[in-house]
Structure 1
Amino acid sequence: MLHTYMDFTLTKQVEYIYQNQPTMFYLRHLVVIFGFLSLTGAAFTDLENFIRVLGSLDPNQSIVNYLNGSVFGKQPGSDLQKLFNYEGYNINRKIRQQDGSFLSLSREFVVYRQPNTSQILQVWINPWSNKANEIFYVANDPVNAILDSPSPSQRSEEYIIYNSDIVLEYPNPLSPDKYSNYSAGPIYDSVELFAFFANYTNLRDTLDKSVPFTGTWIRKSEYLPWMEMSTKPGCLYYTTMAWKCNEGLSCVSDDIMQLIKKYYPKYEYAPSQKEVPNETSWTVFKKVIDQRRQAGLPDIIIPQVNTTSNIRTMTDSVDDRVLNILDAWPLSIKANGSAWSEIPGKQSVCFFNMFGYFQFDLEHLPEHNGYRIQLDGFVTYRDAETGKMIKNFTNPITGQNNTLPKSEVGVDFVFKKDSFYTIDIPSSEVVGLLGAQSSEGTPDDDSDWSVNFIDLVFPYNELSKPPTSAHFFGTLASYSSWPSWMEMMDVPGNIVVKLTVSK
C-alpha cells in the first residue's frame, strides 16, 4: 500500500524529470547569494560529497534516512488544522555508474499517527466529510533514479546546506472519470521544499563514505486519495525534521518495526538492482483499487481495529534549552532564499531572491496555550539571474512592471501548542523545532491567506552556551495568496517563499 509522495534522497524528483516531458516539471534549486560552493581540501568531488550526505559511497551499505513531523489540512477561510503525526524512513543505497553518476536505489515506509495518542492509525474519521476513511501507509517501492549532479549548496558558519525545491505538475494517475472520489483533477500538483544540513568540517576533512545530515522537508499537496475528498477545495501541508540514522534501523520506532517485520520485510534493506517503474502514492493506490474492482470487492474496505490498543497520552512541548535560547533578547538572525510562483498546470517561475536580517522575539501565550514569534528587520530583493539588488521588476506572469515593497519587514506568527514542538535527534546530536501556523480571510472572502513554517535545528553543543552566543539554523517557508502589490488577484495560484536562516 502506498500513500504519499516523499523521498529524502531526492531520487524520485530526478526520476520524474527523466520519465516525463521537460515542460511538465520545473525543478528549481534554490539560488543563493553566495553562489555554488566547491568543497576544497578533500578527496571528493561535489557530487561525491552530495552522495556522502544523502547516502553512502559504499554500494554495499543500506542507509536509513528518518523523518518525523506533522500533517496539517487547510480549507479556504479556515485555520490550519493538525491531522496526523507523520513518521517513517527511506532506506537507500547508491551505486556508482561508469559515467561517474550514481544510481540511487531506495524504498520508503511512513505511518500516520493520531496526534494525541501517537497510535498508528488504520482508520481515520475525516473531520470534513464525517466519514471513516481507510488509511494507507506510505509503502513506496521502488524509488529509484540517476543522480549526476549535486544540489546547489551554500555555507553557513559551520554547515553546508544543500537545497532542492520543486514544483510538480503532471497528469494525475487517478483520472477523474474513473476515480472521481479519489482524484482532485486531471493534473497532480504539489510543492516540495528540501534542505539538507551537513557539518562542513566533517565533510571536508574526513574520508568517511557516509556523513551525518539533518534536514527539513516542507510540502504542500492535494488531499491524499484515500481521504475521498474528490475536488473539494483545500490542501495538505507537511512539515518534518529529517536525518540520517547512523545506527541504521535501530533508530526506527518499535511499533513501526513490528509492522515491517510482520508485513513489509523487504523494507529492512535497500534494493540492490534497478526496477521499473517507480511507484508513488497515487499509482499504488490506483493498483489497490483496480485489484479490488477486478475481484468484485468494494474500493474502500474499513478494517476492524481495536481503537483502545497502544494508546498513550502525548504532550507537545518545547525543550527548555531551546526556549532558553529563543527567549534571549536581542536575537538576530540572517536569512536568504527566494520566491516563486505556483500556478496549477503551469511551469513555476522564480520572481526574485531575498536577503535580510531579522530581530527574533518569542513570546509565551499561556492564555492561548501557544507561542508568538515576531520578526522585525529588513529584506533586500535581488535579480534571480544576476544577483543584483532591485527595487522594481517585470512580473514574468503578467508582464507588468511592479514596485517591490519597502525593505522593512514586521510579521507576527501565532502558533498553537500542538503545532510548535521539539524533537530530540540523537543520531545527529541536535534538537529540531517544528512550527506551523496559518492566517486566512473569511469564508466570504478567502482571497488573503498564508500558511507559514519555521523549522529550526539546535546542535547539542550550542544548547549549553549562553543564549546570545548560541548558534542555530533552519528553514522559514510560506505558501500564500498573491501579495496585493503584484496585482495578480485574477490569476489562480499562489506565491511560495523559502528562506534559509541562521543565527
Structure 2
Amino acid sequence: MTLRLLQSPGLTTEKDPELNLDDPETNFMSLMKLRGDLSGKDFFFAFPGQAWAMVPQEQNLKCFRTFGFGSGRLEKVAEGYRIFSREVLFYLDPVTGEILQEWSNPFLGGRKVEVVHIQNDPVNGVFPRSGPGPLAPPYPYVSCGDMVAFQWNFFIQHPAAMKRKEYPLYSSGDIDQHAELWGLMGRKSDIRNPDTTSAYCTMSWSRVADWLPFMEMGNAPGKMVFHSHSLKLMDGPRELPRKVLDYIEKHHSEYLAAPTVWNGPQMTSSAQVFKGIIDKRRAGQ
C-alpha cells in the first residue's frame, strides 16, 4: 500500500489511479459524499466525547462527558453545495453520564451553576467548488489502501459575542479566539461506488477555547479542550442511545431534521445563544 498526501511543492506522492484526490473536482465531491448525502436527503451525525479544563501551571480536570447530535442536508447550487444544519451538544456528568441541568464548579469552591447546553440552529454555509474561504477546496488529505482522511483546521479570531464590561461573569475577553480541528475519514471504495449518494464517515473533532460562559469563570486563566469522535448515522436518529434520543425528542425535537429555510450563511454560535438567554433574563422576560 502507498501513503498519499495532497500534493505540495515540497512534498509529492504517487497519484491514486482509482481516486485521484489531487484533481480539484474529485477532491471536492469526495468530501461532499462523506460529509453529507448528494441526493439531498437529511443526514445525521452523533459525536460523543469529553471536555477538559486546563489551568496553566495548576491542573487539568475532566469537567464533562459530552454527547452531540447534528442533522444536515446538502443542496446543489451553481457555486457548489449549500449545507443546512443544526446541532446540539449536551454536557454529561463525567462519571455517571447523566445529562446535567446544574454543575458544581470546582474552580468556584463547588458553587452550583446552571448548565446551558449547546444549541446551534441554524449552522448554514456554502461549500464552493473554488475560490477563497475556509470551506473551499482543495481539502488536505492522507490516504493509504482503501482509507482516506481529510483535514480541516479552523483558527478563529473575532470580536466576542459578550464584552467583558457588560458581561464580566460570563466573558473571558473582548476577543473570541479559538480553534476547531476536524478529521473526516472514510473508504475510497464507498466514495467511488456509483450506487450510493452518501458514504459512511467517521469524524474527529477537537476544540480549544475559553471557558464556557455558564461556568461563570470570567477572565480567570484557563482553557477548555473538547475531544469527540463522530459517527454518521446511516439509519438515522434511531441509532442514538435510547436515553439521548428520548431527551432530544422531549426537549429539542426540531434537531431531528435539517433546516429547510435558506437565509444565507448563518453560523449560530453557543456564545450568541447564551448571550440571548442572559439578555432576556435581564429584561425580565
User: Do the structures match in fold with TM over 0.5?
Assistant: yes
Which residue of structure 1 lines up, in the alignment, with residue 156 of structure 2? 168
Q: Deviations over 1:359-402 (max 9, x none)?
A: xxxxxxxxxxxxxxxxxxxxxxxxxxxxxxxxxxxxxxxxxxxx
Which residue of structure 1 lines up, in the alignment, with residue 284 of structure 2? 295
Which residue of structure 2 lines up, in the alignment, with residue 281 of structure 1? 270
Matched, 1:66 2:56: no
Q: Deviations over 1:96-140 (max 9, x none)?
A: 0023x1000000011111111111101000010122111011111
Task: Normalising by structure 2, report the TM-score.
Answer: 0.86
Please report how far the alpha carbon of residue 158 of structure 1 lies from its aligned counterpart in structure 2 after TM superposition.
2.4
Which residue of structure 2 lines up, in the alignment, with residue 178 of structure 1? 166
* Equivalent-residue separation in structure 2 for 1:294 and 1:169 (angstroms): 29
Alignment of 1:335-414 (within 5 A): none
> What is the number of equivalent residue pairs in this alignment?
265
Identity of aligned residues (%): 25
Which residue of structure 1 lines up, in the alignment, with residue 84 of structure 2? 105
Which residue of structure 1 lines up, in the alignment, with residue 133 of structure 2? none
Please report how far the alpha carbon of residue 152 of structure 1 lies from its aligned counterpart in structure 2 after TM superposition.
2.0
Matched, 1:224 2:205: no
Q: Deviations over 1:261-281 (max 9, x none)?
A: 222221110012214643100
Structure number with the bigger relative contact order (C-alpha 8 A, sep ≥ 6) is 2
Alignment of 1:392-471 (within 5 A): none
* Equivalent-residue separation in structure 2 for 1:173 and 1:93 (angstroms): 27
Q: Deviations over 1:437-486 (max 9, x none)?
A: xxxxxxxxxxxxxxxxxxxxxxxxxxxxxxxxxxxxxxxxxxxxxxxxxx
Task: Normalising by structure 1, report the TM-score.
Answer: 0.50
Which residue of structure 1 lines up, in the alignment, with residue 196 of structure 2? 208
Of 50, 72, 76 in structure 2, the residue corresponding to residue 92 of structure 1 is 72
Note if contact 1:172-1:186 (Cα within 8 Å) is conserved in structure 2.
Answer: yes
Which residue of structure 2 lines up, in the alignment, with residue 313 of structure 1? none
> Which has the larger displacement, 173-182 or 146-155?
146-155
Unaligned runs of 5+ residues in structure 2 are 1-5, 129-135
Note if contact 1:72-1:80 (Cα within 8 Å) is conserved in structure 2.
Answer: yes
Matched, 1:48 2:36: no
Please report how far the alpha carbon of residue 37 of structure 1 lies from its aligned counterpart in structure 2 after TM superposition.
6.5
Matched, 1:128 2:117: no
Note if contact 1:30-1:165 (Cα within 8 Å) is conserved in structure 2.
Answer: no
Please report how far the alpha carbon of residue 207 of structure 1 lies from its aligned counterpart in structure 2 after TM superposition.
3.4
CA separation of 1:200 and 1:92: change in aligned 2, threshold 3 A: same
* Equivalent-residue separation in structure 2 for 1:48 and 1:106 (angstroms): 19
Runs of 4+ with deviation above 6 angstroms: 29-32, 35-38
* Equivalent-residue separation in structure 2 for 1:260 and 1:114 (angstroms): 17
* Equivalent-residue separation in structure 2 for 1:105 and 1:147 (angstroms): 11
* Equivalent-residue separation in structure 2 for 1:273 and 1:287 (angstroms): 22
Please report how far the alpha carbon of residue 51 of structure 1 lies from its aligned counterpart in structure 2 after TM superposition.
0.9
Note if contact 1:170-1:187 (Cα within 8 Å) is conserved in structure 2.
Answer: yes
Q: Which amino acid aligns with 2:34?
A: V
Please report how far the alpha carbon of residue 46 of structure 1 lies from its aligned counterpart in structure 2 after TM superposition.
2.6
SS of equivalent to 1:286? helix
SS of equivalent to 2:244? helix
SS of equivalent to 2:155? strand
CA separation of 1:273 and 1:86: change in aligned 2, threshold 3 A: same
> Which has the larger displacement, 75-84 or 64-73?
75-84
* Equivalent-residue separation in structure 1 for 2:90 and 2:246 (angstroms): 12
SS of equivalent to 2:59? coil
Matched, 1:116 2:104: no
Of 198, 201, 225 in structure 2, the residue corresponding to residue 237 of structure 1 is 225
SS of equivalent to 1:50? helix
CA separation of 1:193 and 1:36: change in aligned 2, threshold 3 A: farther
Q: Which amino acid aligns with 2:143?
A: R
Matched, 1:146 2:134: no
